[in-house]
Structure 1
Amino acid sequence: MYYLNGSIALITGVSHENGIGAAICNKLASVGADIFFTHWGSNTDWVKYFEDNIREYGVRCANYEVDLADPNAPFNLMDVVTSELGTPAILINNAAHSTRDGYLNLDAKTLDNHYAVNMRATFLLSAEFARRFRKSQKKNGRIINLTSGQGLGPMPGELAYAATKGAISAFTLSLSAELAPLGITVNAVNPGPTDTGWMNEEIRKELLPKFPLGRIGIPDDAARVVAFLVSEEAEWITGQILNSEGGFLRS
């Protein structure tokens, strides 16, 4: 049951109880991982409540409020994690920035805001994680990047989001080749449309027929995939983009 005992997992973008990040924290804690999660703009009472709940699994837990749009955030974050819990062996890049745009509204500021979080923060944090992992002489490191299936179909009205999240797939493939000699696997997970609280009844009604399995995706679906990819059972999987969408039909 506790196959991650002694492992430290860093999960970004854990800002509310219904999110994929929170589900991943719970799942990894349930199998023994110590949890360090980041958040931004969250209710402080909820953050404390969530941290206490994670500790009930019998693991250590700490958190850090950080604006990942800050160029120095990835390095500061790794300093804090290392100081409080130790060198992490698992990194889950879950944080994302998303606003509606489309070609009529697309401008430099919109692009820069998306780039700062979705690309720069993910890339720099992954690189710094790997550098410190190498110095620690740990084995079996894991990096998981969350994507949204940008390579499977268009996302009208979200040009900046689609472009910056889509870049993560290319980064994942190239980084996986560089880090393989260190024993670090690098993969991406696309959970498809997931009900994390943003869907209203109209959206649910529209999406449900597109899921042949008969239900809309939930955060636990993504968390189970992530938990597998960070396990020893997945040590031979790297450089992959896993489209775990419940058979979602785009046409």
Structure 2
Amino acid sequence: MKCVLVTGGSRGIGKAICIQLAKDSDYHIIINYNSNEAAALETLEAVKAEGNTGEIIQFNVSEADEVKSKLDAWQENNEDAIIEVLVNNAGITKDGLFMWMPQDDWQSVINTSLNGFFNVTNTIIQKLLRNRYGRIVNIASVSGVKGTPGQTNYSAAKGALVAATKALAQEVAKRKITVNAVAPGFIKSDMTAELDEKELKKLIPLNRFGEAEEVAHVVSFLVSKKASYITGEVININGGIYS
């Protein structure tokens, strides 16, 4: 059984990615969530509605021991299965001006977005290398490419994720493993629900927020065989806000 693991797959962009991959591929979809089991089960139902198979798995990407023990246990229970595709989507924001930023707001954002990438990818990478095939897609952000005021912590985490994508891509390319990032701009989701869409869309050349599905389509392409010669790339999906 060939599988795709999507971290933070229960809501928003993660949910859209799970559903799109259920439509476009025959991968078994593993939906990771941290605390919202109801949302994860809802995403699983949507995956099954597309005629595909899936399951949910709970762990906090920022807790290294928890990630390893849960993924090792999953592998023991599914000896013949291989996670061939990994989408590192889990992330949080704790916005605020840097000069007033508590260390905890800095640390928690770095722990989830950046250390979460390390914890999950590092656990899975050996198997991908032995398998001599794999796809890793990291969900970065326009903040990590251009920097966004009020998001120094998030920009730092996502900017580091972009650099890590480019470096890892070169390390594993000989084993037919590609590593790419997508950098969404303002996308309609829980994360952007508090923002003033009417004001912010004036900054966007396309004059609207993006849809989660528009990100999911690009991810689906990158994990497919069609994207075999694309690696170490960052694809911006932001309506021209940073073009």
Aligned equivalents of 1:151, 1:71: Cα separation in 2: 23
Quote the Cα distance in structure 2 between the aligned partners of 1:110 and 1:207: 24
1:3 alignment counterpart: none
Q: Distance in 2 between matches of 1:159 and 1:201?
A: 18
Q: Which moved more, 1:114-123 or 1:97-106?
A: 97-106
- What is the TM-score normalised by the length of structure 2? 0.89
What is the letter of the counterpart of residue 122 of structure 1? F
- Counterpart in the other structure of 1:104: 99
Question: Residue 111 of structure 1 aligns to a residue in which SS?
Answer: helix
Q: Distance in 1 between matches of 2:15 and 2:73?
A: 20
**Distance in 1 between residues matched to 2:192 and 2:177, nearest whole Å:** 35
Unaligned residue ranges in structure 1 (runs of 5+): 1-5
Q: Match of 2:155?
A: 162
Partner of 1:124: 119
Question: In structure 1, what is the Cα distance between the partners aligned to 2:193 and 2:173?
Answer: 42
Contact 1:15–1:41 at 8 Å: present in 2 too? no
Which residue of structure 2 aligns with residue 235 of structure 1?
A: 228
| AA matched with 1:162 | S
Aligned twin of 1:53:
46
Q: For 1:19-77, what per-residue CA distance to the aligned partner results, in whole angstroms no more than 9, with x for missing partners?
A: 000000000011222100111221x3333232122123232211112122212133234
**Which of 198, 206, 214 is matched with 2:199 structurally?**
206
Structure 1 length-normalised TM? 0.87
* Percentage identity across paired residues of the two chains: 28
Residue number in structure 2 paired with 1:92: 87
In 2, the alpha carbon distance for the partners of 1:84 and 1:204 equals 45
Give the superposition deviation at 1:214.
4.2
Q: How many Å separate the matches in 2 of 1:80 and 1:56?
A: 27
Provide Cα deviations, 1:106-147, integer angstroms capped at 9, x if missing partner. Answer: 243222212221111202322222101223x2x431000011
Q: 3-state DSSP class of the match of 1:72?
A: helix
- Whose helix fraction is larger, Structure 1's or Structure 2's? 2
Q: Residue 10 of structure 1: CA displacement? A: 0.3
Pairwise mapping of residues 177-216 of structure 1 onto structure 2 (< 5 A)?
Answer: 177-199=170-192, 203-216=196-209
8 Å CA contact 2:180–2:234 kept in 1: the answer is: yes
Quickly say closer, same or farther: Cα 1:45–1:123, change in 2 above 3 A.
Answer: closer
Determine whether 1:34 maps to 2:28. yes
Give the corresponding residue for 1:10.
5
CA distance in 2, matches of 1:68, 1:200: 23
Q: CA deviation at 1:199?
A: 4.2
Report the Cα distance in structure 2 between the residues aligned to 1:141 and 1:104, rounded to whole angstroms.
41
Distance 2:193 2:120 in 1: 34
What is the letter of the counterpart of residue 230 of structure 1?
V
- Per the alignment, in what secondary structure is the counterpart of residue 247 of structure 1? coil
Deviates more, 1:171-180 or 1:156-165: 156-165
**Runs of 4+ deviating beyond 6 Å:** none
The answer (yes or no) to whether the contact 2:144–2:154 under 8 Å persists in 1 is: no
Please give the alpha-carbon distance, in whole angstroms, between the structure 1 residues aligned to 2:96 and 2:227.
38
Higher mean C-alpha displacement, 112-121 vs 216-225:
112-121
> Please, what is the CA RMSD of the aligned residues?
2.1
Count of residues in Structure 1 that have an aligned counterpart in Structure 2: 240
